[in-house]
Amino acid sequence: MNSEIEKKYQRLRSLFFGLCIVAAGLFFLSSVSNMYKSRAAASWPVYDGIVTNEMRTGFNSGYYGGSWLTYTYKVEEKEYRGTRIGFGISRAKTELKAGQSVRVYVNPNDKNIAVIAVGFSKSHFIGLFFSAAFVWLGFVIWRRTH
């Protein structure tokens, strides 16, 4: 291979190395941030809430009755509506039905921020796994350039 083509391949490999490291960093920061927020939410005050729509089954099993999961909860006689299941958690541990009671963890500093699932979930660790995989891939590419 001539040196001009080799330089082009080396630049391309360096670009892919950089992209792998950026992707690893984004996965890592996102996962760690969600884990931190989810752990902090476990100490928030807990209120009773009610699921306001049915869960759709089948292909869109994480999708609730034509819209995302919604639930209502009252704090100091004011009603709020929540849609977040958890930080980095996209599915409830059990199937939820309209009218069902749920425990709602409410941020004491902003009552509009609430979750129904707290703690660590496998989705947090999947993000960390992908972060490690991108670091590994980046260094495999790096070794080939030097």
User: Which pLDDT tens digit goes with each residue over 64-106?
Assistant: 444 478 899 999 999 999 988 889 887 777 778 888 999 999 9
Could you tell me if 14 and 145 are in contact, meaning their C-beta atoms sit under 8 angstroms apart?
Answer: yes
| Contact residues for 143 (Cβ-Cβ < 8 A; gap 6+) | none
d(CA 42, CA 26): 24
Same domain flag for 48 and 29: no
- The whole-number pLDDT of residue 68 equals 74
Same domain flag for 78 and 26: no
Same domain flag for 88 and 140: no
pLDDT tens string, the chain, 146 residues long: the values are 578 877 777 888 888 888 989 999 999 999 999 999 999 999 999 999 999 875 554 455 554 444 478 899 999 999 999 988 889 887 777 778 888 999 999 999 999 999 998 988 888 888 889 899 998 988 888 776 55
- The whole-number pLDDT of residue 107 equals 96
d(CA 69, CA 109): 23
Same domain flag for 100 and 138: no
Same domain flag for 35 and 89: no
**What is the rounded average pLDDT for all residues in the chain?**
84
Same domain flag for 87 and 135: no
Same domain flag for 48 and 35: no
d(CA 28, CA 13): 22
- The whole-number pLDDT of residue 146 equals 55
Number of structural domains the chain divides into: 2
d(CA 127, CA 146): 29
Same domain flag for 19 and 58: no
- The whole-number pLDDT of residue 63 equals 46
- The whole-number pLDDT of residue 51 equals 93
Same domain flag for 37 and 12: yes
Same domain flag for 55 and 20: no
Could you tell me if 71 and 52 are in contact, meaning their C-beta atoms sit under 8 angstroms apart?
Answer: yes
Amino acid (1-letter code) at residue 62: G
What CATH number should be reported for the domain holding residue 79?
2.40.50
Same domain flag for 35 and 17: yes
Residue 64, domain extent? 43-118
Same domain flag for 35 and 60: no
